């Protein structure tokens, strides 16, 4: 990835223009050719530097009011296998391995769930618990009560 890729990544992440030829518009903003913009975006997608190009829906606005950060304590030696299983559940939007901070924070697996009702979110959490089975040594769910800041620049996402 070179500087041009980085500039293009930032610009395309911030938003594709709503013009008939958005990649041409982007190219003009970055002093590149349209072909170069499209080639670089294709290459970055193939390399996994860009995950996808998308119209990104605003879940909260579409009625998903119960957004829970579920956190699980699972054995470190099983986390890759378990994380991949949880990450594949259709209602999980992010699934990450993060460090524990003992004693106050024992959880090492994070999965974001989204429900339109509390019951729906709880059913999703039960499904994760069932999938983890005896490997689940404890879990918690932290619902968001207020979005205090959310900017368009998402390279850290709810990720970090």
The interface with other proteins within residues 41-60 (CB under 8 A) comprises 41-42, 44-45, 48-59
Joined together, the tokens standing for residue 99 give 């460090």
Taking alpha carbons only, the member of 71, 61, 64, 66 closest to residue 118 is: 66
Give CA torsion, residues 22, 27, 33, 35, to 10 deg: -40
Single residue of 36, 38, 106, 136 touching other proteins by CB under 8 A: 38
Provide, rounded to whole angstroms, the least separation between the CB of residue 44 and other proteins: 8
* The binder of other proteins chosen from 78, 98, 126, 137 (CB under 8 A): 98
Residue count, binding to other proteins (CB under 8 A): 79
Binding to other proteins by residue 75, rule CB under 8 A? no
For residues 114-143, which are near other proteins according to CB under 8 A?
Answer: 114, 116, 140, 142-143
| Spatial distance between the Cα atoms of 78 and 127, rounded to a whole number of angstroms | 18
Q: From the list 4, 28, 96, 135, which residue makes contact with other proteins (rule: CB under 8 A)?
A: 96
Specify the DSSP element, H or E, that contains 21. Answer: none
* CA–CA distance, 30 with 4 (Å, rounded to integer): 9
Is residue 79 at the binding interface for other proteins, with CB under 8 A as the rule?
A: yes
């Amino acid at each position: 990835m070179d500087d041009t890729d980085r500039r293009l990544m930032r610009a395309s992440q911030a938003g594709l223009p709503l013009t008939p030829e958005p990649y041409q518009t982007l190219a003009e903003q970055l002093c590149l050719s349209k072909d170069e913009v499209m080639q670089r975006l294709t290459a970055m997608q193939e390399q996994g530097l860009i995950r996808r190009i998308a119209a990104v829906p605003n879940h909260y606005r579409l009625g998903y009011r119960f957004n829970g950060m579920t956190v699980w304590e699972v054995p470190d030696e099983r986390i890759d296998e378990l994380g991949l299983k949880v990450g594949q559940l259709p209602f999980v939007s992010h699934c990450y391995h993060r460090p524990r901070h003992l004693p106050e924070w024992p959880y090492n697996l994070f999965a974001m769930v989204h429900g339109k009702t509390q019951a729906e979110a709880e059913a999703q959490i039960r499904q994760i618990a069932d999938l983890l089975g005896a490997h689940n040594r404890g879990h918690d769910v932290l619902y968001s009560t207020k979005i205090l800041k959310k900017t368009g620049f998402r390279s850290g996402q709810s990720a970090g």
